[in-house]
Amino acid sequence: MDIGLMQVNYGIWGKKFGLSKLDLLDPALNVLVGAKILGHYVQQSQGWWEGVGFYHSPRPERQWEYIQRVWRSYRRILSRIRS
């Protein structure tokens, strides 16, 4: 079960951090936990984008699809900021 803004997987991370499902519904806490998880995967990976992929899935084909979606969103936001 993925919960909140950062879609934190409760079965893995909620229990690891000692958080309830209700705890993870708090947006501020959810973002902090998600950032901690992302940081963990980036440190364990060969680079930033690989870490982003691992945040989403352990399966390489799903990682690549997710990286592409995040990259496209990033580029759209960046172009709006620069306009």
What share of the chain has pLDDT > 90, as a percent?
92
Are 4 and 40 contained in the same domain? yes
Please check whether residues 3 and 35 belong to one and the same domain.
Answer: yes
In contact, 10 and 24? CB cutoff 8 Å: yes
32 shares its domain with 1: yes
Same domain? 4 vs 38: yes
Model pLDDT for residues 22-60, shown as the tens digit of each residue: 999 999 999 999 999 999 999 999 889 999 999 999 899
The whole domain housing 81 covers 47-83
**End-to-end alpha-carbon separation of the chain, Å?**
38
pLDDT band at 83 (very low <50, low <70, confident <90, very high): confident
DSSP labels for 55-77? Answer: HH-SSHHHHHHHHHHHHHHHHHH
Tell me the C-alpha distance between 2 and 29, whole Å: 14
Rg (CA), the chain: 14
